[in-house]
Amino acid sequence: MTVIQTRAPALTIRAGRRALERLRQKSLEPADVHVIPGAAGGPKALGISGLDKAIFGDWLPQAKQERVLIGSSIGSWRFAAVASSDNPRAQLTKLAELYTSQRFAKGVSAAEVTRKSVLFLEELLGGREDYILGHPWYRLNVVVVRSRGLLQYDSRGRLGLGLMSAISANMVSRRHLGRFMERGIVHDSRLKTPVSKLVDFPSHEVALSRENLLPALLASASIPLVMSGVRNIPGAPDGVYRDGGLLDYHLDLPYEQPGIVLYPHFTDKIVPGWFDKTLPWRRGDATRLQDVLLVSPSRDYLASLPDRKLPDRKDFETYHGDDRGREIAWQKAIAESDRLGDEFLELVATGRLLDQVQPL
């Protein structure tokens, strides 16, 4: 008897209530997608590079229409890369190569990490600012936070105390984070931000411009104590701006848009804020995520990778003294991620996506 070998799915696909209803009525098409969120998560983005390439390089261009790309931290960098060229595959490849090749000495200062991050953005996007701002269909939205109280300072003592206070307040209720930070969305003003009125935290919007594009991207990834805050983003209220993932780690936002919110993600769950990572009871709001289609690596896929996980920031410590070993592991994970993209394209092309969808 011939034994048929079947490979476990590389993707886990989850859908919010309304998204699932839509998929039961009709197969997913590129024209159904008007909003794509991108989460914070550092090097984890490299682990879904192949999925991004398939979505932005092959699938979405089949229906050229206005779409909002809204990201915090590395999510905003991914989407800036996508919107910076008519060849998003090449720019996503460059993003992965630049990130993988970063090396940091033990005890590196926040100022040095910031300096290297500025060089990173300039190499990835320098000279491409006007293309991003004038992209024919992508509208970039960059999520940042404006610091309040002790979070305004970069000195380790005051900033550390401010973070401890914020973590304690968040344990009681997420809404208390409004005492420590304010949400900012630096957005392409050609199209409305894709969310209903934000009432969970103090929030403001700023029009994206040539002057504030790179500062906003830098701020959006400026992790406290790891990087310096960015002072006074042009056009925004005065203040020190930091990583958008502090408030909006996985972008648990009240999306308001036609169609489906396609969310290529590192994990199959939504964690609202950075401080919620260790709080298993703190998960995304189902009413906000009704239109979301979440596409992420499956557990079986993750188990097949080097170190049995996506690349992450802890790898800089795990591979301390062996940068080449880390780079090899990350390069393998990046190359393997083409499986994610291939599987997504096959599912949408064959109409079998619904067979694999689970409720979100």
Q: What is the pLDDT of residues 142-167, one digit of tens each?
A: 999 999 999 999 999 999 999 999 99
pLDDT at 241 over 90: yes
Give percent of the chain above pLDDT 70: 98
Selection from 280, 264, 295 nearest residue 360 by Cα: 295
Residue with tokens 């289609």: 293
Residue that is written with structure tokens 């939504």 in the block: 270
* Range with lowest mean pLDDT among 4-8, 149-153, 342-346: 4-8
Q: Is residue 332's pLDDT more than 80?
A: yes
pLDDT-derived band at 7, boundaries 50, 70, 90:
confident
Instruction: Identify the burial level of 199 via C-beta atoms within 10 angstroms of its C-beta, where 0-12 means exposed, 13-18 middle and 19 or more buried.
Output: exposed
Per-residue pLDDT at 286 = 93
pLDDT for the residue 281: 93
What is the CB-side half-sphere exposure of residue 319 using CA atoms within 13 A?
A: 21
CA distance 343 to 222: 33
Residue 131 is predicted with a pLDDT of 98
Supply the Cα-derived Rg of the chain in whole angstroms.
20
Average pLDDT rounded to a whole number, residues 246-254: 98
For the chain, the maximum distance between any two Cα atoms, rounded to a whole number of angstroms, is: 72
- pLDDT(4) > 60: no
Under the banding of pLDDT at 50, 70 and 90, the label for residue 228 is: very high
What confidence score (pLDDT) does residue 6 get?
A: 61
- Tens digits of per-residue pLDDT, 25-53? 999 999 999 999 999 999 999 999 999 99
pLDDT at 2 over 90: no
Give me the chain's average pLDDT, please.
96
Mean pLDDT across 173-188: 98
pTM of this prediction? Answer: 0.96
- pLDDT tens, 104-113? 998 999 999 9
pLDDT at 5 over 90: no
For 29, residues 6+ apart whose C-beta sits below 8 A from its C-beta are: 63, 348
